[in-house]
Structure 1
Amino acid sequence: MRPRILIVDDEPQIHRFLAPALTAAGYDPLRADDGASGLKGIAVWSPDAVVLDLGLPDMDGKAVLEQARAFYDGPIIILSARDREIEKIDSLDRGANDYVEKPFGVGELLARLRVALRQRQRFPGGETVIRAGGVEIDLERRLVRRDGEIVKVSPREYDLLSRLAQGHGKVLTHKELLVSVWGPAHVHDTQYLRVFIGQLRQKLETDPAHPKLILTEAGVGYRFYSP
């Protein structure tokens, strides 16, 4: 069965552009032209992923995102002309999996969709061991291994790594990581993140200067890449 992708956008040209591209890539495109019909489509069709514009005629896309997250756990990729960093961060904090700016290349959007769908298929929930290349994170035992050898990590390093890993490719913002690992009082302490991310890279990456496991989203946060 072809994965169903719901496009929620009020621009007809976006649908004309994306529908054939998604079809050619093996997807079944679905259409919604405003926020209300988008929410209805998510509830009725249960799409495999949603591509959501922020600038909708009847309601802000971030409101759609928040309401959808009350009943939908599939990937939601934001598609928007709002290129300010704060918009990306706010959308991700509200539950988006990724963010693509307009104008965009269809190849980039398809790549983001493939990553989001692949991660959801591999990790439907309730997993106890997460593997990425030679790194293995045992969530029950709170153990980290690299190439079969146990890696010594501090409790805080483990909490940060496990939070990233359980994101399964989703961009996690600085705020989200700081609140979940250090608590609300440290929401602005991004230096903590830089230090601990650097320590984890030294322990887990083959080349810490060119990481392939813990990736930086400049100005926004980090994501855990599991190929």
Structure 2
Amino acid sequence: MSGGGETAARVLVVDDDGEIRRLLAGFLGRNGFAVTTARDAADMEAALAADAPDLVVLDLVLPGVSGLELCRRVRARSAVPIIMVTARGDDTDRILGLEMGADDYLAKPFNPRELLARIRAVLRRVGTRDPASAGRSRLAFAGWTLDPRRRELLDPDGAVVELTAGEYDLLLAFAARPHRVLSREFLLEQSGRHGDPHDRSIDVQVSRLRRKLERGQGDQPLVKTVRGAGYLFMPDVETL
């Protein structure tokens, strides 16, 4: 492990290529992160149990259990941010990664500085001391409550609903702008992504968020698709 002090954010790098693990551990360590590495599913599970990371960099192609399956398993029990790394730039890989709960993706080969920028961007979005969230009021809609100070979503029964960083940022963008059509380009910016506004990844993120929000809502959609324009948040929003 490489460390950057007691307050360093902890990053788990999962890749079966030893040279890539060494390169990223050294680079991220020199940039202030505490880095743990793993080569496969067993190593990853051991690392997660030993010291819960603040972020996981997860390769798509691994021996035995794939990165997609590992992403699904982690997401089923944790909201830890995940950046998926794929050797192929295929849109299908990126969409599958997002479907499984990844917060961002990066295609190999990549510049380590780009990965560093993405890690920092994701950690800023999930940071509990995010100054952009300080002093924000809670937002209530259709029985749900969104608390920007805690970055929490409570369902109508008061239970906390787990959201990934991307899902949270999308919901905050919607709840802050009800009854307005928000373009895919705008939503990409709000979720900290970079890419073509026609990239289907934003549709995948919205679909995942929609499924979590609309359980028990019957035929009343909370997020409406506006063909050719973007998405519309339907309910009235009250500031608490």
Question: Who is 2:54 aligned against?
Answer: 48
1:173 to 202, 206, 209: 202
Shift, 1:43, TM fit: 3.0
2:229 to 186, 190, 195: 195
RMSD of aligned Cα (Å): 3.9
Residue segments in structure 1 that go unaligned for 5+ positions in a row: 131-136, 145-152, 186-190, 201-227
1:34 to 34, 40, 47: 40
Q: For this pair of structures, how many residues does the alignment match? A: 174
Greater per-residue helix proportion: 1
Shift, 1:44, TM fit: 2.6
Q: Which amino acid aligns with 2:29?
A: T
Alignment of 1:1-227 (within 5 A): 1-121=7-127, 122=130, 127-128=147-148, 144=177, 154=179, 157=181, 168-169=191-192, 173-178=202-207, 180=210, 192=226, 194-196=228-230
TM-score, length-normalised on structure 1?
Answer: 0.63
What is the alpha-carbon distance in structure 1 between the residues aligned to residue 101 and residue 61 of structure 2?
Answer: 17
Which stretches of structure 1, 4 residues or more, deviate above 6 A after TM superposition? none
What secondary structure, in the 3-state scheme, does the structure 2 residue paired with 1:104 have? coil
Cα gap change, 1:59/1:143 in structure 2, threshold over 3 Å: closer, same or farther? closer
Identity %: 31
What secondary structure, in the 3-state scheme, does the structure 2 residue paired with 1:42 have? helix
For residues 125-184 of structure 1, what are the alpha-carbon distances to aligned partners after superposition, in whole Å with 9 as ceiling and x for unaligned?
Answer: 952489xxxxxx997xx554xxxxxxxx52x648x99xx59x85378531342572898x
TM-score, length-normalised on structure 2?
Answer: 0.60
Question: Who is 2:140 aligned against?
Answer: none
Q: Which amino acid aligns with 2:63?
A: P
What is the alpha-carbon distance in structure 1 between the residues aligned to residue 32 and residue 62 of structure 2?
Answer: 27
Question: Who is 1:147 aligned against?
Answer: none
The answer to whether the Cα contact below 8 Å between 1:97 and 1:170 also exists between their aligned partners in 2 is: no
